[in-house]
Structure 1
Amino acid sequence: MHLEALNLAADVLAAIPNPSPEEPPGGAGFLKILGWGAWIVFGLGVLGILFAAGKMMIDQKSGHGGGQHAQSLGMVLVGCIVASVASGIVGGVVAAAGGMS
């Protein structure tokens, strides 16, 4: 039964078309929108880092420490890393699925 399921899965994967990696009509506009999105995301990342740093400084001055805001700074940095490698992640998934070679 497992072998039949694997054979069926292989047949389905073999039937998936492999498109050529050429830009479709209007692709330049889409890439422009992606560029704007990237600028917005990284701008928000910078604002997030500045906000977390400011909260850490205020809490440190009032004697509360800054541990809670250090955690939010870490989350902002993780978000920046994910945004930075987004195209690599998508490219890796597409390549692993056998598409756009």
Structure 2
Amino acid sequence: MVIHAVHNALLAQIGNPTPEPPPNSDKILQMVRYLTWLVLLSGVCGITFAGGRFAWEKWQGGPLASPKMIAGGMLGGVIATSAGTIMNAIIG
């Protein structure tokens, strides 16, 4: 009973803080947006390269290694674009 009252009293004093960006964080957020753009661009380039390689491998009749590249590029893109959502689910 006493522990419950102390717990409620402490929660009433602490409240629920809202997150806010630190001062001068505009440049850091801009860098994160640039890096996100570069990751997405590299994923598109990788999938395009793997598609061309897939066509070459089919035309040559050799073993197919490019479907793994395409699947890896697509999985990497999904993880890269949902990184913020994943972190919010883990932290929040």
Residue of structure 1 in register with 2:73 after alignment: 76
CA distance in 1, matches of 2:79, 2:50: 18
Q: Does residue 77 of structure 2 align to residue 56 of structure 1?
A: no
Query: CA deviation digits over 1:30-81, x for unaligned, max 9?
Result: 1100000001000000110011001101111111253x11011101100000
Residue of structure 1 in register with 2:21 after alignment: 23
CA distance in 1, matches of 2:17, 2:24: 17
The TM-score with structure 2 as length reference comes to 0.77
Alpha-carbon contact 1:45-1:76 (below 8 Å) kept: yes
Q: Which amino acid aligns with 1:42?
A: L
Q: What is the number of equivalent residue pairs in this alignment?
A: 77
Q: Which amino acid aligns with 1:92?
A: A
Alpha-carbon contact 1:56-1:65 (below 8 Å) kept: no
Q: Which amino acid aligns with 1:83?
A: A
Could you say which structure has the larger radius of gyration?
Answer: 2
CA distance in 2, matches of 1:29, 1:85: 22
CA distance in 1, matches of 2:22, 2:33: 17
CA distance in 1, matches of 2:87, 2:61: 44
The TM-score with structure 1 as length reference comes to 0.71
CA distance in 2, matches of 1:82, 1:22: 25
Runs (4+) of structure 1 moved beyond 3 Å?
A: none
Q: Between the two proteins, what is the percent identity of the paired residues?
A: 27
CA distance in 2, matches of 1:70, 1:82: 18
